[in-house]
Chain A
Amino acid sequence: MIRHLAGRAAFGGLVLLTLSVFVFVLFFVAPGDPARMIAGDKATEAQLIQIRANLGVDRPITEQYFRFLGKALVGDLGFSYRNQQPVAKLIVGRLPATLSLVIGGVLVWLAVGIPVGIMSARHAGGVRDRVGQGFILVGLSFPTFVLGMTSLYLFYFLPRQAGFTLLPGGGFKPFLPNPLIWAWHMILPWSTVALTNAAVYARLTRGQMLEVMGEDYVRTARAKGLSERTVVWKHAMRAALTPLVSQLGADVAVLLGGAIVIEQVYGLQGVGALAVQAVANLDRPIIIGVVLLGGLFIVVTNIIVDIAYVLLDPRVR
């Protein structure tokens, strides 16, 4: 087991290394001169050369890469071209907003999606199934930005016009000192990120449940005289939800790398918003940092999913 995990970790490291090479090359060949970004339009050629030398971008790409790699291994991702702040610190500063969004969002979408899926599956073909299917269809077909804008209009703009504040129009408030203020500000972002995903998970759960309810061991559970509640929530759920774990791992990892649209709509200063600004500014160190962070999240969540699977499914032990 430990052997297996060590193998997975080593493989993850290899993935990150490859990723760093790709991103580095990609931005090295991309057009745009960082020196001009920093110095502005009026800078002289001599100034530009000086700046390039300071940044190290006049060296050969291999040298630049190994220099970057050496520093990155000890947690130094370089400095932003734009405001000269350390990239690592910038990213870490953005994590609370992103983490709040993702963790809260995941809890909401699981809390909605799984019960809807189970309800749908247990009454397959009936009225409750149609309601569930309707929810899935709506959730899947709503683009995030439309949903974000609409909810802002309904829950922020309209109440404001009527003269009261129902929910805030955006912004991120730290968890401390007042978690209530934090949660109040997160309600709209959470619901927005949750709706689409809840629909996806409802559909997955429904399919899994329908399959599992037809399994022989569910029939055995019934024949043992267990109540329908135990049959569904213990025997069927256990088998139906295990495959969802791998899907959840992938989704969480992607979101942690930046929920770009949602952070933008609600003015959350998260990793996604940072990435958008960095791309607009051609701020290479930040872009590379964000991409590697995303990669790291994917590698780590995959390892966590692996471990979770081993704990959940005795057959792979």
Chain B
Amino acid sequence: MTAPVLPCLKHFTFFLPMPLFFVFRCFRATAFGLLLAAVFTTSAIAAPPDADEPTPLPMTAAQPLSATAEQIFTKARPRLLQIRTLLTAAQKQSSIGSGFLVDADGFALTNYHVVSQYALEPQTYQLDYLAPDGTRGRLRLHAIDIANDLAVVRLEPSDKGGVQAPRDHFTFNPVAVAGALPKGERLFAMGNPFDLGFTIVEGTYNGLVENSYQPRTHFTGALNPGMSGGPAVTADNRIAGVNVAKQFGGDLVSFLVPAVAAHALLEKARHSEAMSQAGVREAIREQLDAWQNGFFAALQEEGFRAASFGPYQAAESSAPWFNCWARTNSGSSTKLRVLINDASCDTRTALFLAGNMSSGQANMSHTYMKSIDLNVLQFATLVSQRMQPSPMFGPRRRYTPQQCYENFLAPDDAHPNRPVLRVTWCARAYRDFADLYDIAVTAVTQDSSKEALISRLSLTGVSYPNAITFTERFLNTLEVSR
């Protein structure tokens, strides 16, 4: 049977009352999970108990249940870190995550989302580590990889004069780096969930997530907030991936960053200097820009397929990494006054930039409406309600206010079958990252008073030329045939 996964807030208030900051920290640690949850909305699957299932183990032998896990954890323990973002002024933690040593000189890997507050606001936050033996110290940021949600940090030497003893550290599993682990391989994920102490979790490697633009390893095991950035190792105690997210509403459906990305970033960071705030912002900007260029080139390459809505044709991306859903109101009432069919496609993943800022999402949706007994004025009211562009939320210090342009767009010689459209284009710029924008386009067909197609496109973290090109492509595919 499936049981609902309690969100961390509820879970904790159940056991003991938590001060507010803990709730916040809790929320932060789950931010990435929340992001994913918004995209993956798979229904719970209740499977009947399998008749062929073997009967429970007889309770005879008093042997250790998992000697492997015990050995792995004992060996791995000194290489694990808890990574804490502290509010400098208050000296209190504002978020926690995990990390692990990967180099004798004190380089460690973690998730970008674990260090994002410090990376973007080093004046406000400081980045500390806490080792299982109780030693603490500062961390310096050496490299980030936004697309894969990775960061390389380095432990500050504890005393300046003495030569630092080489640190015990993990190595990468070459089979995992080559992406050749077989499905079903046993993996062990480690980290410090909810600040409860370092733990080890046994699970299964299930290959790469299908239909995801960004490669993610599907790990069947219990990852929890706070374990982000911790290692997932094979039985020989070598790195196979980095804990990154879990599926809300799922059971044991968790995700790892593939080892190959972590390995590549470490090699790049090994000889680098610590990053400055400006360096971080420039790196994010460059990576986002490169990412969106790659993403839109790939989208164009995958092409579009036509989708029909009454007399209208619109485009849907043929790219496999879009998750599409359809909905209709036809069964909702016996006295239906208007027929509404929705089809919506979005990319499964988003790139985490900050707790209140994510990027790299694309969404295309079409709403077809046909009046049954609404008059033209009532139908226009309904279209007005349905065509409102989705609001762009976010703090003003991260984004400029949105700017919109709206007008009627004529069919032209190249697209004579396109009806007159009422197009609303809204865009806003990222304050921290030049040349990146969020855009939202809404097009409403204007060829009939009792029938309409509302097509929407929204892109986040996109360059203006890509946004314009893609919008043009999107609008050019809208056609009507009567």
A and B pair up = no
